[in-house]
Homo-oligomer: A and B are copies of this chain.
Amino acid sequence: MHDRTPQPLGLTDADRIDRLRLIRSDNVGPRTFRSLLNHFGDARTALERLPDLARRGGAARSGRVCSEEDARAELAAASKIGVSLVVPDEAGYPPRLATLDDAPPLLGVRGAPDVLMRPMIAIVGSRNASGAGLKFASQLARDLGDAGFVVISGLARGIDQAAHRATIQTGTVAVLAGGHDRIYPPEHEDLLAALLEHGGAISEMPLGHVPRARDFPRRNRLISGAALGVVVVEAAHRSGSLITARMAAEQGREVFAVPGSPLDPRAAGTNDLIKQGATLTTEAADVINAVAPIMERPVTLGASEPDSEPLDFDAGTGERARIIDLLGPTPVSLDDLIRMSGASPTIVRTVLLELELAGRLERHGGGMVSLI
């Protein structure tokens, strides 16, 4: 059962190096990467223009541009531990993950070559799960694995671990918040080694990157994004699993939640999800029936869609100043900026991109931005 047949891209080694340099350069995130690549046509040209664009955005000093040596060194080190750096639409890049607006431009992938191309269901939940929660997660994961699905999760303690362990034989994928050589929690290195035989691990972070708190929500978008749907097994109010569920909904993925007693605080989050429309899940069939119609539709690649929104570097000095004046530490929406500045959407987006490359802009949820 394959989610999608990959299209050979014919990416040259030089182009892969350039793309890696671009995404590893300061202040370049997946969305900025995509805008730059679309605008300039290739990563090499974008790299050459980076210092100039950051200067236009008001950078006090130029941000670091990743050197060719550093990129080559990362590729070599990755290769040494069995990690390939793949781009969307290449074999090994999970097809559904490639459809995200903020899909990683290069993804470090490791493990069984086939597993990342198969249809996936994410199972997530509390780190301090109950015995019942762990038992249910194991059973659900096993049943989904037996039905041909790859179970994807975050290698955390509790529910994640139970879901991975139950699917070591059928195929499971761990999504890492740090580099492939910085496993968190460290006691799960054995679990990771065990699951790699039939499963895989993915990370968008460079080798050596130690995961910090803010990397986990960012990582969670990959768990939901690669999957057809996310099952939340146990989750208290305001827990990380609910962030994954919210991201899943924003990404158009199915959200499943396992109910629990109103007196059990570990079920408060999942019961709320069901109230908000998540599918109540007590067995694998609930998941399988819901994703069956989605699997019949072809996966549409973001990269094959009409281009991302265009840029225009011809903003006048007055226009640029007007936009920057409207920005401050309080987040404001892109729509409001366009309306209040009187500038075109393309100009506003371009000025924001320059500010971002200068390290002066912070992006929040829902298209809100603020100055740092």
From residue A135, how far is it (CB to closest CB) to chain B in Å? 6
Interface centre among A261, A264, A280 (most CB of B within 10 A): A261
The listed residue (B135, B259, B268, B275) touching A260 by CB distance below 8 A is: B259
A283 contacts the other chain (Cβ, under 8 Å)?
A: yes
- Chain B residue at smallest Cβ distance from A263: B132
- Chain B residue at smallest Cβ distance from A140: B262
- CB proximity to B under 8 Å, residues A242-291: 258-264, 267-268, 271, 274-275, 280-283, 286
A286 to B262, CA, bound (A): 12
- Across-interface contacts of A267 in B (CB, < 8 A): 259, 261
A136 contacts the other chain (Cβ, under 8 Å)?
A: yes
- Across-interface contacts of A258 in B (CB, < 8 A): 261-262
Contact indicator B261/A261 (Cβ below 8 Å)? yes
Contact indicator A136/B282 (Cβ below 8 Å)? no
From residue A255, how far is it (CB to closest CB) to chain B in Å? 14
- Across-interface contacts of A286 in B (CB, < 8 A): 275
- Chain B residue at smallest Cβ distance from A130: B261
Contact indicator A274/B280 (Cβ below 8 Å)? yes
A295 to B274, CA, bound (A): 25
From residue A191, how far is it (CB to closest CB) to chain B in Å? 24
Contact indicator A274/B262 (Cβ below 8 Å)? no
The 9 lowest CB-CB distance pairs between A and B, nearest first, are: A259-B259, A262-B282, A132-B263, A274-B280, A260-B261, A271-B282, A132-B261, A275-B280, A259-B271
Sample of 18 more A-B contacts, CB < 8 Å, known A258-B261, A259-B280, A261-B264? A132-B264, A135-B263, A136-B262, A136-B263, A258-B262, A259-B259, A259-B260, A259-B262, A259-B267, A260-B260, A261-B261, A261-B267, A262-B281, A274-B280, A275-B280, A275-B282, A275-B286, A280-B280
